[in-house]
Amino acid sequence: MATPRIEINLGKIGHNIKTLKELYASKGINIIGVTKAICGNSDIADIFVKNGISILADSRISNIRKMRTEGVKAQFMLLRTPLLSQAEEVVKYADISLNSEISVVKRLSKFAVEQNIKHKIILMLELGDLREGIMPSDVDSTIEQILELKSIELVGLGTNLACIGGINPDEEKMNYLSTLASNVEEKFGLTLDFVSGGNSANYDWFMSTKNIERINNLRIGESVFLGRETLHRNPIPGLFTDAFTLVAEVIESKTKPSLPYGEVSQDAFGNIPEFKDIGLINRAILGIGLQDVMISGLTPKLDLEIIGASSDLIIVNSKKIKHKVGTELEFNLSYGALLSAMTSPYVIKKTSDYLNAHEYCESVEKKYRKHLQLLQTIEIRENNSPLISLKDSGFNLIYEPSVQKDYQYLVREEVYEKIGRISRILDEQDKTLIIRSAWRSFAHQKQLWEEKVEFMQKEHPKLEMEEIKENVSYFIAPPSKSLHATGGAVDALIYDLKNDFVMDFGTNDGLKIDLNDKCYPYHPFIPALAKRNRELLINLFEEEGFVVDLKEYWHFDYGNAGWAIAKGENQSIYGIIEA
């Protein structure tokens, strides 16, 4: 799949929208969906609408025009004070606009009269952040002028905090805005539809306040897209923080010195670069740069370090792994990085098929729950097939290092023969089967389980142990429940001998696999190359009578209870071998 690209998970965005809408509605606040970070992307805009958001806001009239043209069924708000030169377009394409200059409102009135349209405005108030807004002392005189204008309807008051000055939208600020709104309604006989308290930065205030007073509206963007509040960038419980992933491709991979050599002057952007001398490093160059994305807002998903960038390149220290040319590396994005990457015409925007991806994952989870129930019902008619070591086979295989010393990669006799046939097929394709794991004792499984639990504890220190164990159990069976103990389960990948690398299956970097829902074998939102590679791997095993695991594209079962369930049988031929 082409790079650089942003992979956009519409299902996760939809979940965040629905969750936030319900959260804020619990205290009587409606939200407006802010689309400026995604440049009016109509696929994402439609997700807002499908999840009950009726008003979308953007700071660019061109984005609003685009969404209207592409058939997004919503009301549209211009999120910043209109450009005087764009007043005619604002009236034509935006139902509502935020305003702080009376000269602009007068120009909007002129074109609203000409177009025979009633244009709604929210008057923005300056409450300390020093972004846009009239001073509170000017509220009355400004509203008096607005009310004299034709085809203009004042529908609300609003403010913008934590944007330029980083000023907290706290209880005091929100109460003051509420008081101003009440005073305006009383003095001018108005009913304001919107008392708009701010944006995603208002989350802490909302969660702590006992009385929202008159605040009935917030304009939310970043919390939807990145699952965070914006005062401290802390994750909001229950939201996805990884709806967007930036993917960049390795275009050079070499071992080089960490310290440039020669006389130092300015770099391409006028800076004097500084580097630490840590000796030779695995240094990779990625085909994306400052012209495409705000580099400081990228967080690698793998253990690597960004050490420099030019207009069209990023340089990384890939540490222990020497990535092959063509390898795709993934990054999480800050709001600034998301905004810049979505704006760049050079970054491809790839949205997942929301219904297929969502429904597929839901079906996997449903089948998995049923699978766990059925495991208890399978009768075992042990055929006493012996365990044989693949390492003694002479087959052309690669063995992933095990946590167990002197691990012999034991499998049942029938499985041994099937692996031999698969190996010979791959020999003809200049490829080799990688055996990651085979029969595992309970002690071996216990070690894997405990190591993963310990890793998760370090990675997520705030999670409760029960939640950690639940997360681990999605991909590693507890010691007494692993089908590997039957000798009928094999974990495998494929090595490409011609190109000298582990093939790409969508969630792996070499032998290292990132455990997430893209590990589900037929997940639709993985690159086309990874889909083809999975198809090759799965077909090889299925031709030999194996079944692929529901959640792990690399795990294959034969003869055990998992195999029996997939085949619709009520009995298996392999039971547990404990020793």
Alpha carbon distance 505, 328 (integer Å) = 11
Residues 6+ away with beta carbon under 8 Å from 104: 81, 82, 84, 87
H/E element, 249: strand 244-257
DSSP SS3 for 317: strand
Residue ranges, CATH 3.30.1380.10, the chain: 355-440+482-572
3-class SS letters over 324-364: CCCCEEEEEECHHHHHHHHHCCCCEEEECCHHHHHHHHHHH
Q: Print pLDDT tens along the chain (579 aa).
A: 689 999 998 888 999 999 999 999 999 999 999 999 999 999 899 999 999 999 999 999 999 999 999 899 999 999 999 999 999 999 999 999 999 999 999 999 999 999 999 999 999 999 999 999 999 999 999 999 999 999 999 999 999 999 999 999 999 999 999 999 999 999 999 999 999 999 999 999 999 999 999 999 999 999 999 999 999 999 999 999 989 999 999 999 999 998 889 988 888 888 888 888 899 999 999 999 999 999 999 999 988 999 999 999 999 999 988 888 988 999 999 999 999 999 999 999 988 755 567 778 888 888 888 888 888 899 999 999 999 999 999 999 999 998 888 899 999 999 999 999 999 999 999 999 999 999 988 777 677 667 767 777 777 777 777 776 666 665 566 655 678 889 999 999 999 999 999 999 999 999 998 888 899 999 988 887 888 899 999 999 999 999 999 999 999 999 999 999 999 888 999 999 976
Residue ranges, CATH 3.20.20.10, the chain: 5-226
CATH 3.30.1380.10 for the 355-440+482-572 domain, yes or no: yes
CA torsion sign for 357, 361, 367, 371 is: positive
Nearest CA-CA partner of 39 in 64, 76, 14: 64
Alpha carbon distance 561, 9 (integer Å) = 34
Burial of 263 (0-12, 13-18, 19+ CB in 10 A): exposed
Nearest CA-CA partner of 404 in 441, 372, 379: 441
> Catalytic amino acids?
36
pTM of the model: 0.67
Q: Which fold would CATH assign to domain 5-226?
A: TIM Barrel (3.20.20)
